[in-house]
Structure formats: C-alpha cells, structure tokens
Amino acid sequence: MYNDINKVVFSGNAGRDIEVAVTKNGFPIGKFSMAVTRSYKKSGATEYEKQTTWLNVSVLGKYANVLAGKVKKGTYVIVEGRLEVREYEKDGEKKFYTGVLCDNLRIVGNNSGGGKAAASGGETIPSEFDNNGDDGSGDEAIPF
C-alpha cells in the first residue's frame, strides 16, 4: 500500500507578526501570512515581471509559542509543511480555507527593507511535535 504525499516548502517574507491564540482546551495555534514572490519574463518581453502569492500559515501546539516573537512582519522565512484545506460554514454558507500547516520553519533574516535577505546563516527553529493529523482542538471548530 502506498501513502500519499502532502509536503510543501515555501520561502518568502512574513506579511505580519505571528499571532498566537489558545483554544478553549488550552491548545495554542499560531497564524501569520507570508508573501512568496516569483519573477518571470513573458515571451518577447525585455523586463521581468513579479507575481506575489499570499499564503496563510498555521503553527500548532508548543511550536506556536516557540515562534511567537520570532516571526515578525518582513522576516524572511522558509516554511516546510503540508497543504491543508478546511471546510466550514459561516452564516449558512459553505466556505473553504486553504493554508499551510507548518512543521518546520527557518528564519533566514529580517527583511524589512525589501528584497531578499542573505540566505547564509539563519536560525532553524525545530518543531518538537508530531500531531499525526490531530490539531489538538478536539471537537472545536477552528475559525480561519
């Protein structure tokens, strides 16, 4: 039997400071946005164009508390995790949330001045948890 693979790696700038909230069960959940920008040249063009994709990143458990105060707006990070799509209902309407569930994060540098930070050095902040698909929230709905 084969196991499906759901693994993503993104590098870019944090769009806002990480915000950590705690569920009713006392389980910490951290959230921040991240901008991933690619450059490309259209056929026949002389100039490069940029396209930015904004991602929602969630960090679960103790790892969210570890990253609190370290992931700030403009920080250049490398996020490794998995793509997650959640379905929920709001005002009687079915909605979907797509985001990245972070397993590991590397802070490469602070990039508040624009452009990419130097990729040398940096701080890898290891994740010491394995949630095995359990977000720790029990039956609580996590509002995204």
Would 73 be classed as within a structural domain?
Answer: yes
Would 2 be classed as within a structural domain?
Answer: no
CB-CB contact of 121 with 46 (8 Å): no
Would 139 be classed as within a structural domain?
Answer: no
Q: What is the 3-state secondary structure (H, E, C) of 81-143?
A: EEEEEEEEEECCEEEEEEEEEEEEEEEEEECCCCCCCCCCCCEEECCCCCCCCCCCCCCCCCC
Query: Among 83, 38, 77, which Cα is nearest to 58's?
Result: 83
**What mean pLDDT do residues 58-75 have?**
94
Would 144 be classed as within a structural domain?
Answer: no
Would 15 be classed as within a structural domain?
Answer: yes
Would 138 be classed as within a structural domain?
Answer: no
Q: What are the tokens at 12?
A: 């870019």
Given this model, what pLDDT does residue 110 score? 65
**What mean pLDDT do residues 45-66 have?**
94
Would 105 be classed as within a structural domain?
Answer: yes
**Which CATH number belongs to the domain containing residue 91 in this structure?**
2.40.50.140
Would 93 be classed as within a structural domain?
Answer: yes
Count of the separate structural domains present in the chain: 1
- Give the range of the structural domain holding residue 73, as residue numbers without chain letter: 8-37+50-125
CB-CB contact of 33 with 57 (8 Å): yes
CB-CB contact of 31 with 59 (8 Å): yes
The model's pTM:
0.74
Question: What are the pLDDT digits (tens) for 95-125?
Answer: 999 999 999 999 997 655 444 444 445 666 6
Residue whose pair of structure tokens reads 């609580």 in the numeric block: 140
